[in-house]
Amino acid sequence: MFIDSHCHIDFPDLAAREDEVLANMQAQQVSHALCVSVNIEQWPRVTGMAERHANVFASLGVHPDYEDVTEPDVAQLVDMSAHPRVVAIGETGLDYFRLTGDLEWQRKRFRTHIRAARECGKPLIIHTRSSAEDTLAIMREERAHEVGGVMHCFTETLEVAEAAIDMGFCISFSGIVTFKNAQQLRDVAKAIPLASMLIETDSPYLAPVPYRGKMNEPAFVPHVAAELAKVRGMTVEEVGRVTSDNFFRLFHDAARLAGREEVAA
Ligand SMILES: [Zn+2]
Ligand SMILES: [Zn+2]
């Protein structure tokens, strides 16, 4: 069994095939998926997805790439995350690749999410791109270690991974780890503790080899696990089991909802 720790199955192209996407998961032994928000307008779609499917969990936040959208405040994030299917805050973080100029608003928004996560006791889903130094600095300043979380779709160095792991964060690998030019990332996957590893699709983006260039979906996450199995000298089943246990240990509300509290304990 495998768990897709980060997907956007509420996005129109995947939502239009909702039943098929869920059936494909089952056929490929993908037991659960975490559907992640990118803006406030979309929150009801994400929680709706998690209400309709017992094996889908929700996360609420506003993505750093969304510039001209309603800005969340701490109280609003805390209030909304009381929804019974919400297990995490995010995605949040910094992205200096997609956007440039004065990005103080991004840093402020990131701090808001960390404060909300600490207040409601839920882990953080962090996106960082060309901004690792500031991301780690803000995580430290805002005491993100109190809730932990995941560095999703990880593409940074081993040093950045280790700094995040020191703060109680997991490192999540996407289809990028299957790409030919991703040797540096495979080296990171080889070096970090198994107990800190998660797998994800970030679908509909970043389909793994052999689906590269196609629309991604949670059913493809075993291909990420297979690549990690190769890198670590494990079976794909072992990678599935370890990353699923890691998922439930980190997202303790998901463990409770799925009746897997023994993993979280
Ligand atoms: Zn992201
Ligand atoms: Zn995402």
* DSSP labels, 65-114: T--SSPPP-HHHHHHHTTSTTEEEEEEEEEETTT--S--HHHHHHHHHHH
pTM flag (> 0.85): yes
What mean pLDDT is reported for the chain? 97
Cα of 164 from ligand 1 centre, angstroms: 16
pLDDT band (50, 70, 90) for residue 263:
confident
Q: Is pLDDT at 265 greater than 90 in this prediction? A: no
Instruction: Return the ligand number nearest the Cα of 6.
Output: 2
Q: What phi, psi does 129 have (nearest 5°)?
A: -145, 120
Cα of 153 from ligand 2 centre, angstroms: 8
Tokens of residue 230, six digits: 């190769």
Q: Check: CB of residue 107 under 8 Å from CB of residue 134.
A: yes
pLDDT digits over 157-206, tens only?
999 999 999 999 999 999 999 999 999 999 999 999 999 999 999 999 99
What does R_g of the chain's alpha carbons equal in angstroms? 17
**Distance of alpha carbon 40 from alpha carbon 30, whole angstroms:** 28
Residue type (1 letter), 125? I
pLDDT band (50, 70, 90) for residue 42:
very high
**Distance of alpha carbon 216 from alpha carbon 126, whole angstroms:** 20
Cα of 113 from ligand 1 centre, angstroms: 14
Look-up of token digits 């032994």? 29
Q: Is pLDDT at 136 greater than 80 in this prediction? A: yes
Cα of 194 from ligand 2 centre, angstroms: 22
What is the percent of the chain with per-residue pLDDT over 70, rounded to a whole number?
99
Q: What single DSSP character describes residue 235?
A: -
Task: Mention every residue, 6+ apart, whose C-beta is less than 8 A from residue 86.
Answer: 47, 50, 57, 58, 59, 60, 80, 122, 253
Tokens of residue 89, six digits: 């805050």
Q: Check: CB of residue 170 under 8 Å from CB of residue 246.
A: yes
Q: Is the peptide bond before 123 cis (omega within 30 degrees of 0)?
A: no
Instruction: Return the ligand number nearest the Cα of 203.
Output: 2
Instruction: Return the ligand number nearest the Cα of 152.
Output: 1
List the beta strands (DSSP E) in the chain: 2-7, 30-36, 56-60, 86-95, 124-129, 149-151, 169-173, 197-199
**Distance of alpha carbon 1 from alpha carbon 158, whole angstroms:** 27
Q: What phi, psi does 91 have (nearest 5°)?
A: -90, 145
